[in-house]
Structure 1
Amino acid sequence: MSRFNASFRKSFWIGTLAILLLLVVAGCSNSKNEPDPNKGAQQNTNQEANQSANTEEPAAGGTFVYGRPASVTSLDLHNQITSNNAFAIDKVFESLVAFDSKGEIVDWLAKSHNISEDGLTYTFVLRDGLKFSNGTDVTAEDAVFSLQRHLKVGGPLAIAAKVDTTKAQDKQTFVITLKEPYTPFISELSNFSNGIIPNNFGGVTEEEFFKKPVGTGPFVVEKWDPAGDLTFTKNPNYWQEGKPYIDQLVYKLIEDDSQAINQLKAGEVNAIESLALQNADEIKQGPDTTVVTNGSWVTEQLFFNTLDKYFSDVHVRRALALALDREGLTKALTFGYAQTANSLLPTTIPYHANDTIKALNFDITAAKEELAKSAFPNGFTTKLLVASGNGTRAQEAQIIQAAGKAIGINIEIESIELATFRERFFAYDFAIMLNSGQADSPEANSIIAFQTDPEGFSKSYWTHYTNDEVTKLLYEGQKTPDGKEREEIYTKLLQTLADEVPYIPLYYPDILKGVGSSVDGLVVLPNGSVRFEEVRIGK
């Protein structure tokens, strides 16, 4: 999937310090990579750790407070998609395979996995001694139940692979058989939505279970206000011995960027999830704060509702794309923490084609000529929907407004609070909007399917964009093994999107987290989530 940012996220935002561009492994078989419980806290050498202020190793224990722009409203892993929920769900539930900070697939709850040569049979062997947070054993039957529940529910991250059978060969061995090859499958199994839950919900109702969920993750839900904060405590039965190091993790709701910055500076929170770009250098250079960063699977975008009378016209969409100086916007707003986007896919995802695609680059004369070809050659008035509380998005909206004015399109900015913003675009109640799209796994299909399938959960990310040739290429890409042929399929698909612009890719942001100087071991993942297993807090 591409998870939309509800801030999207929640906010995706941005950097090019000596940061990495991740080289992503899209699929693997017979992987033996296992996390090392004794490995040092900082796993990604490209993340800016802040160890300059502390010569002593921080002690274990304590409470880590993490400021977030949106509250956790549900922990049902099969029915959620926005990052406010996803990045809480992944603290409680874990999958058979996962991806590390480099975006590489590694075995997680499985100690090994194997994919048959024909791509139809996936065999997983669970780790020895795995337990749920309540102390009960994790078995292959739990994996069977989890996958079958996901298949039954579907949800926003529905399993697209055509699953034939799921069975437990023995207590530790779980086998999935497909009806036909589906190349993204192993990568998609690393999604938070494919976490393992107890068979039959451990004997309670679904409603009861997801209010107080039982999983294998490093944390357990202790106290939860769906309109406010969530408090986790460490899982005493976590399979990585000795972890997590902290005793409690608090997700603190801070809806405004400036308030989050102030609370970080004051030491009221240990880190903040959404760091406004204009504050990045200030936080990086602050006496008690720093920035932890990673490359991302995110694309900041301007989305068109193709059901709208104006933006159903491809010439109107092309005109606005040509009127918008994306490179100038990126330079002005991201402070060197992003790369201008030509393709829908971030450069950290295979087959992105960002360097070869022929995008509609800034050209006012061509923009006016394109608008003249439309049904609205004299321009029109429309509205741009944007979530409030995000300074960067507010500035993006103003630049887009100016671009429209230059060719006769009067764009009124409608800034509304985040929850209402989500409701509006879920209901197609917008003409154009600013948001982010992101992959949930290191796979091209993760974003492409979410943003191009008119029959999918999001109806092409709520744009309702429909192109039969694009849909055909989408399905071909899913069945084609990795290699040159698959690359050619995606290159053709992405060029069509660049020509028809159901959305305008703006830039690829790096992920930035504002962090207190006493924090060590925070691991930022390329999907925007954070691993807290190895976090320690200094004095």
Structure 2
Amino acid sequence: MNLTRTRTTPQSTTTRTASAVALSAALAVALCSCSSSPDTAGPTTSPSTGTSTTEAAGEPQPGGTLVFARTQSPTSLDLHREITANNAFAIDKVFEPLLAFDAEGEIEPWLASEYSASDDGLVWTFTLRDGVTFSDGSPLTPADVVFSLERHLEIGGPLPLGAPITSVEAQGEDTVVITLSAPYTPFAAELAGFSNGILPADLGGVDEATFFKNPVGTGPFVVDEWTEGGDISFTANDGYWQDGKPYLDEVVYRLVQDDNQLIAQLQAGQVDVIDSVSSANVATLQSNTSLAVSITPGWQVEELFFNTLDEHFQDRDVRRAVSYALDREGIVQATSFGTAEVAGSVLPPSIPGYDGDITTLDYDVDAAKAAIADSAYPDGFSTKLLVASGNDLRAQEAQIIQAQLAEIGITVEIESIDLAAFRERFRAFDYSFMLNGATSDAADPNGIVTFQADPEGGTNGYWTHYENPEVTALITEGRTLPDGDERTEVFSQIQQLIADDAPFIPLSYPSNIKASAATVQGLTVLPNGSVRLQDTWLEQ
């Protein structure tokens, strides 16, 4: 089975701004550099080698049901109020944005056939693609776009529209004009995120609860059956705007919360794809010729997050001591089996603006002891590390962190709880420190630093309550600067300040690892970890 990029979209004329072109070029360079580095796991598969999509010889075969096992089940499909992958990667099968990014992270027209910006970057014009309808048969109109973006602006949510939008206006039968009060470089990248999918105006005349239980979108699939917190099934949108797609009749997201069960069910043929593959299981799966494994660069960072409201971790010296005490290289070697890269920056290498030369608080036990001695807790203390159960990687990381922090007098109790409770706890700031991952939703450095370090970013600094006025000011500046050396330098400063303050400690840059039956073709893995399924088909 070959792994090649197979997704095609209808031909269109694309008008891009200079910043969008520069962004795409920068990302292409970043991805090329990342995948070719001897220290980074490049794309690999079993039984063949290639990129992030799968294709077999011959024409796609329509029909069939794809059973996709996921460790998290959707609890809400309201794209403006949700952020976690359990919801986002179901939402993006139903709703689609004006722009999208492909497997290489490059921005491309989607529901818009073309787009452009004025020379001053203030007026953005989008032409809607001909022939797009919602799953109920109603046509996509500029009014739907206006309603959707204005709803997002009103709600805000954890992934708010950060651009200084002054108006969203419909013009004629196929044009939307968005006006900004100031230049905003990440605008195109943010519009490509799942949270900017387009809804029918006024939700088709029903209330929110009714609409999001059985949502209407332009995406390739339609919700069929859904048990909140359990499985969800989708049927093909017969009126999808990409001719002949989707190929599948049905997609079922099956909840399987344990890493070992994921592997067992895939090997037994009970599921066709698993979304989460423990790095320890990669070699075993690659040796099975009836399966395929895809390993591609992503926009993820595995991190240790501190609740800076906690009595111990509000102390900057304590956080710095922890950073010095952790042998990140050893942690990655012990847990990733060559599928991840040691992290230093809060930005992953595949995002433009990443700086691999910042000074980080690397493993140094003497420096760790000196930092803890300078803190308010020179004799150490006891604390709890919160992790979600069922994740082998984080269980291993937690044990190593526990042992290494004991060397500087910090006694760690590992608190492992189920995923739903884990989310509730950290969102309520009911934790001391935790292991979690961060994923950028945009091919721009602003996305992840806003998410984690801007107090107005919608998540209270990824629920760490981190705030540094200098960092906040630089983030604001970075949004308005055009792509180029000056903007890159601003994001380098941001990365350095965050590394110095250590509100979270980047541990590794994981790869996107998916596994499937060899009969599954055209599976497109995006850099944010989502999977496009309109091109997927089952070899009979």
Decide which of 179, 194, 197 is 1:195's aligned counterpart.
197
Q: TM-score, normalised by structure 2?
A: 0.91
Determine helix, strand or coil for the equivalent of 1:28: helix
Cα 1:187/1:371, change in 2 over 3 Å: same
Go from structure 1 to structure 2 and tell me whether the alpha carbon gap of 1:429 and 1:394 turns closer, same or farther (over 3 Å shift). same
Equivalent position amino acid for 1:509 in 2 = P
Which SS does the other structure have where 2:509 is aligned? strand
Deviation >2 Å, runs of 4+: 29-32, 47-51, 55-59
- Supply the distance in 2 between the matched residues of 1:26 and 1:212 (Cα, whole angstroms): 40
Deviation at 1:205, TM superposition (A): 1.6
Alignment deviations for residues 358-384 of structure 1 (CA, whole Å, 9 cap, x no partner): 111111111111111111111110000
Aligned to 1:174: 176
Deviation at 1:126, TM superposition (A): 0.6
Question: Of residues 51, 62, 75 in structure 2, which corresponds to 1:46?
Answer: 51
Q: 1:43-89 CA distances to partner (integer Å, 9 max, x unpaired)?
A: x95237475xxx66562200000000111111111111001000000
What is the CA distance between 1:207 and its match in structure 2?
1.6
In the other structure, the counterpart of 1:476 is 477
On the 8 A contact 1:92/1:217 being kept in 2, the answer is yes
Paired letter, 2:144: D
1:18-417 residue pairs with structure 2 within 5 A?
A: 27-28=19-20, 45-47=50-52, 49=54, 51=56, 59-354=61-356, 356-417=357-418
Q: Report the residue type matching 1:365 in the other structure.
A: D
Mapped to 2, the partners of 1:384 and 1:26 lie a distance apart of 45
Contact 1:297–1:349 (Cα < 8 Å) also in 2? yes
Distance 1:58 1:122 in 2: 37
Say if 1:282 and 1:30 are closer, same or farther in 2 by CA, change over 3 A. closer
Residue number in structure 1 paired with 2:9: none
TM-fit CA distance, 1:420: 0.3
**CA offset digits 1:160-208 (Å, max 9, x no partner):** 1111111111110000001111111110000111011111111222221
User: Is the contact made by 2:23 and 2:483 (CA closer than 8 Å) also made in structure 1?
Assistant: no
Shift of 1:508: 0.4
- How far apart, in 2, do the equivalents of 1:168 and 1:48 lie? 36
Q: Bigger shift: 164-173 or 201-210?
A: 201-210
1:156–1:457 Cα contact (<8 Å) kept: yes
| Structure with greater contact order relative to length (CA < 8 Å, sep ≥ 6) | 1
Instruction: For 1:434 and 1:163, locate their aligned partners in 2 and report how far apart those are by CA, in whole Å.
Output: 35
Deviation of residue 449 (structure 1)?
0.2
1:416 CA drift (Å): 0.4
Distance across 2 between alignment mates of 1:219 and 1:481: 37
How far apart are 1:227 and its partner, in Å?
Answer: 2.2
Unaligned runs of 5+ in 1: 1-16, 20-24, 33-41
Shift of 1:129: 1.1
CA drift at 1:293: 2.7
The structure-2 alpha-carbon separation of the partners of 1:300 and 1:18, relative to structure 1 and needing over 3 Å to count, comes to farther
What secondary structure is seen at the aligned counterpart in 2 of 1:489? helix
CA distance in 2, matches of 1:494, 1:31: 19
Give the Cα–Cα distance (whole angstroms) in 1 for the partners of residues 328 and 351 of structure 2. 21
d(CA) in 2 for partners of 1:486 and 1:31? Answer: 12
User: Is 1:433 aligned to residue 424 of structure 2?
Assistant: no
User: Quick one: structure 1 residues 523 and 341, their matched pair in 2 at CA, closer, same or farther if it must change by over 3 Å?
Assistant: same
CA contact (8 A) 1:31 1:114 kept: no
User: Which whole-Å CA distance do the structure 2 matches of 1:62 and 1:188 have between them?
Assistant: 34
Partners of 2:535 and 2:235 lie apart in 1 by: 14
Aligned partners of 2:219 and 2:240 also within 8 Å: yes
**Would you say the 8 A contact 2:4–2:55 is kept in 1?**
no
Q: State whether residues 26 and 442 of structure 1, in contact with CA within 8 Å, keep that contact through their aligned partners in structure 2.
A: no
2:420 matched to which residue of 1? 419
How many residues align structurally?
Answer: 504
TM-score normalised over the length of structure 1: 0.91
Residues 5-16 of structure 1 mapped to structure 2, 5 A cutoff: none
Between the aligned partners of 1:166 and 1:101, the Cα distance in structure 2 is 29
Deviations 1:323-367 (A, max 9, x none): 10001111111011111011000000011102x111111111111
Find the aligned partners of 2:118 and 2:55 in 1 and give their Cα distance. 44
What residue is the counterpart of 1:465 in the other structure?
Answer: 466
The 1:57/1:167 distance shift into structure 2, 3 A limit, reads closer
Partner of 1:35: none
Q: Secondary structure at the match of 1:174?
A: strand
Structure 1 distance, partners of 2:112, 2:4, is 34
Question: Contact (CA 8 Å) 1:29, 1:115: kept in 2 or not?
Answer: no
Partner of 1:532: 533
Identity of aligned residues (%): 52
Q: What is the Cα deviation at residue 31 of structure 1?
A: 12
CA–CA distance in structure 2, aligned partners of residues 130 and 50 of structure 1: 27
What displacement does 1:294 show? 1.9
Given that 2:226 and 2:232 are in contact with CA atoms closer than 8 Å, whether structure 1 keeps it comes out as: yes
- 2:54–2:524 Cα contact (<8 Å) kept: no
Instruction: Give me the whole-angstrom Cα distance separating, in 1, the residues matched to 2:191 and 2:522.
Output: 26
Q: Is the 8 A contact 1:31 1:107 kept in 2?
A: no
Letter in 2 for 1:435: N
Amino acid paired to 2:52: Q
Letter in 2 for 1:334: S
